[in-house]
């Protein structure tokens, strides 16, 4: 089945009792058993819930994987992956990555004895340099957040495979519409479902999709044993969001492409980070690895004056200032003080993240209104 058909039909079947075309919100904690241990496959909603099952199947189908496992947030999904490891295990992660991912690694799992190395993966040689016999996982995020660097998924996952190291790709920025990491050799794909998959800024959720049966069993065990599961109402909202993922992504990409070119031509704008621009160092790789360049843009102002960046963000009206991304509405974020504040300033500087960087999640409004809004705010 092609993507658009899967987005609408995968995982969902008419409700067996009524024929309802939409999967009902099974708002229940428990399920009545006929006799002890004799039930219809559902015992308790932390373990299984029919609305969640439908969503997990849909997400697996969209990422071309066998198993989908949903968690209460993107970070709960990351938490589940990190619980696969033991003290002394080493993990290599992208250095330009979601701030919360950096925080859970450094502040929660490092004290438990996991060892992390953060490297610039736009150069696969940098990964090889920190590989050791204790390396157990490589964590890739591409396009990276917020600098939108492109990492060669095939190059890194084949390196991981050759060393028997697990590879995971945070595919939140691309969404399965633009990129399928499992097809490029990754073992697990992780999503903050909160973003493009949900698509309407109304739900916080995470997911993992993978092919390996034994590993899926381990992660489902953690889902149940640690208990960070999403509720049925949230699963319903995401099932609804998925149905328009393909058309939303098409418009996100179209609007962001136009806006990036426009920004590049503004006298007051400095560097523009967007993989769709031919001047972007990862442009050729993105064109090969992705089916579009996505809806995220970051840019700096010439002169690099902090107060000027703040005033642009204060003056935007169609773009709302807020954390998060991937919703139908345009958002603008200041990574240094918002999404990436948990990364120390020196680490941010090392990764090239300036305090004046502005990140845009380009929504699906009319492009003329988005340009006019930025025009009046930048001047």
Q: Which residues are catalytic?
A: 46, 98, 170, 195
Q: State which of residues 192, 201, 223, 356 lies at the interface with ligand PLP (CB under 6 A).
A: 192
Regarding 144 and contact with ligand PLP (CB under 6 A), the answer is no
What residues pair up with 167 in beta bridges, in sequence order? 138
Which is closer to ligand PLP, CB of 141 or CB of 187? Answer: 141
The structure tokens listed for 376 are 């009046």
Regarding 171 and contact with ligand PLP (CB under 6 A), the answer is no
Regarding 99 and contact with ligand PLP (CB under 6 A), the answer is no
Q: Do the beta carbons of residue 81 and residue 101 sit within 8 Å?
A: no
Which is closer to ligand PLP, CB of 119 or CB of 207? Answer: 207
Regarding 75 and contact with ligand PLP (CB under 6 A), the answer is yes
Regarding 180 and contact with ligand PLP (CB under 6 A), the answer is no
Which is closer to ligand PLP, CB of 195 or CB of 348? Answer: 195
Q: State which of residues 58, 69, 153, 204 lies at the interface with ligand PLP (CB under 6 A).
A: 204
What residues pair up with 298 in beta bridges, in sequence order? 273, 359
Regarding 98 and contact with ligand PLP (CB under 6 A), the answer is yes
Q: How many CB atoms lie within 10 A of CB 192?
A: 27
In Å, the largest CA–CA distance within the chain is 74
Regarding 172 and contact with ligand PLP (CB under 6 A), the answer is yes
Which is closer to ligand PLP, CB of 222 or CB of 377? Answer: 222
- Which of the stretches 20-28, 109-117, 167-175, 366-374 binds ligand PLP when contact is defined by CB under 6 A? 167-175
Q: Do the beta carbons of residue 291 and residue 180 sit within 8 Å?
A: no
Q: Which residues bind ligand PLP (CB under 6 A)?
A: 73-75, 98, 100-101, 141, 145, 170, 172-173, 192, 194-195, 204, 206
């Amino acid at each position: 089945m092609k993507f658009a058909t899967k987005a609408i039909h995968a995982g969902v079947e008419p409700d067996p009792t009524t024929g309802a075309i939409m999967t009902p919100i099974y708002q229940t904690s428990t399920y009545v058993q006929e006799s002890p241990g004799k039930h219809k496959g559902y015992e308790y909603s932390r373990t299984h819930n029919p609305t969640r099952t439908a969503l997990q199947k849909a997400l697996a189908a969209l990422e071309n994987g066998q198993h989908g496992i949903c968690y209460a947030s993107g970070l709960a999904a990351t938490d589940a992956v990190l619980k696969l490891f033991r003290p002394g295990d080493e993990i290599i992660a992208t250095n330009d990555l979601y701030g919360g991912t950096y925080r859970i690694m450094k502040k929660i799992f490092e004290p438990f004895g996991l060892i992390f190395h953060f490297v610039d993966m736009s150069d696969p040689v940098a990964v090889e340099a920190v590989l050791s016999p204790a390396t157990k996982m490589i964590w890739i995020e591409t396009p990276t957040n917020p600098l939108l660097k492109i990492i060669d998924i095939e190059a890194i996952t084949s390196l991981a495979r050759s060393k028997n190291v697990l590879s995971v790709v945070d595919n939140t920025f691309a969404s399965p519409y633009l990129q399928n990491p499992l097809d490029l050799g990754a073992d697990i794909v992780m999503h903050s479902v909160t973003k493009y998959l949900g698509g309407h800024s109304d739900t916080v959720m995470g997911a993992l999709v993978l092919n390996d049966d034994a590993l899926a069993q381990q992660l489902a065990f953690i889902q149940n044993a640690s208990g960070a599961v999403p509720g049925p109402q949230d699963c319903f909202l995401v099932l609804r969001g998925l149905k328009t993922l393909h058309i939303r992504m098409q418009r996100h990409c179209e609007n962001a492409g136009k806006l990036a070119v426009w920004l590049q031509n503004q006298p007051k704008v400095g560097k523009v980070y967007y993989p769709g621009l031919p001047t972007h160092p990862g442009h050729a790789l993105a064109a090969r690895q992705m089916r579009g360049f996505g809806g995220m843009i970051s840019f700096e102002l010439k002169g690099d004056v902090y107060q000027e960046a703040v005033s642009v963000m204060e003056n935007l009206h169609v773009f709302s200032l807020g954390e998060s991304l991937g919703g139908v509405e345009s958002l603008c974020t200041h990574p240094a003080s918002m999404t990436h504040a948990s990364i120390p300033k020196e680490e941010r500087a090392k990764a090239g993240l300036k305090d004046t960087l502005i990140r845009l999640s380009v929504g699906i409004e009319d492009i003329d209104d988005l340009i006019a809004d930025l025009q009046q705010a930048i001047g």
